[in-house]
Copies of this chain bind each other. A is one copy, B any other.
Amino acid sequence: MTSSSARPRSSGASRPEDPPLASGRTPRVAAARRLTRRPRRDDERRFLAEGPQAVREALALAPDAPGAPSLLLGTPSALARYAELVASARVPVIPVDEAGMAGLSETVSPQGLVAVCSFLDVPLSVVSAAAPRLVAVLAEIQDPGNAGTVLRTADAAGAGGVVFTDGSVDPYNGKCVRASAGSLFHPPVVRGAPAEAAVASLREAGLQVLAADGYGEADLDDLADAGALGKPTAWVFGNEARGLPESLAELADARVRIPIHGRAESLNLAAAAAVCLYASARAQRRAGQ
């Protein structure tokens, strides 16, 4: 602790009064706040995991595991609400006032609890070497909420890896972490891989590459009927507005459209990813029976 007090502060303070609350000016809170900026995260290879779900996953890690927390910060009310979770922390716990916590949050409704965690992404080669059956590749996805939701859905669908290409939002962006609802800590996550190299590497690992594309020539249901979704598959999802870059779509084994039965022009990216990833998960499990 770098404040004027040199006395170690734990969540089980022995004196009767409460310790003074840290504020946004308290050095460790100010240092944490700087992690809301990507260049600082890259320098320190640490990020902020906000919310009880992410904090729970972080605290469950071994102290030297990638992603393990070094510090937990929370408002008094959040620390009380998640007392059992906080009690499991083997790292310093700092009570912070509301304004100080607001500065640590990138979300509209701060949840009052943030862990400072080490980076946990892995090189692409780690994912490819594991010969996963299902991988999601996020290519130039800009909205952190969308990216986090796709990460969460990929986790639910049993993906063996999620690749954020170099043109995509940072998986450690606070809104992405929160939208992932803890899933950032589950499947291996690759950060900043060049998109073409990622696709090539996954294909060499034996995965077919399917590009989700509203104007794709292949219909998802037709592929399912033909048994083409049972194979190990890397799904590539593109930008919310622009779709996939042509150079990347060309590398796919097929460009796949989800059938539109009504009058909507398209699906929201996260909804489309859910339909694609679950179509593969279902087909792979039926193929494996």
Contact = CB atoms under 8 A, between A and B. Distances in A.
A182 B155 CA distance: 30
A97 interface: no
Given A268-B270, A270-B270, A183 B263 contact: yes
A153 B268 contact: yes
Interface residues of A, number: 41
Chain A interface mostly: helix
A43 to B, nearest CB: 29
Interface stretch (A64-72, A120-128, A245-253, A273-281): A273-281
Interface in A145-169: 149, 152-159
Contact of A265 (B149, B181, B278): B181
Interface stretch (A8-16, A33-41, A189-197, A254-262): A254-262
Interface of A: 53, 149, 152-159, 179, 181-183, 186-187, 221, 224-225, 258-268, 270-275, 278, 281-282, 285-286
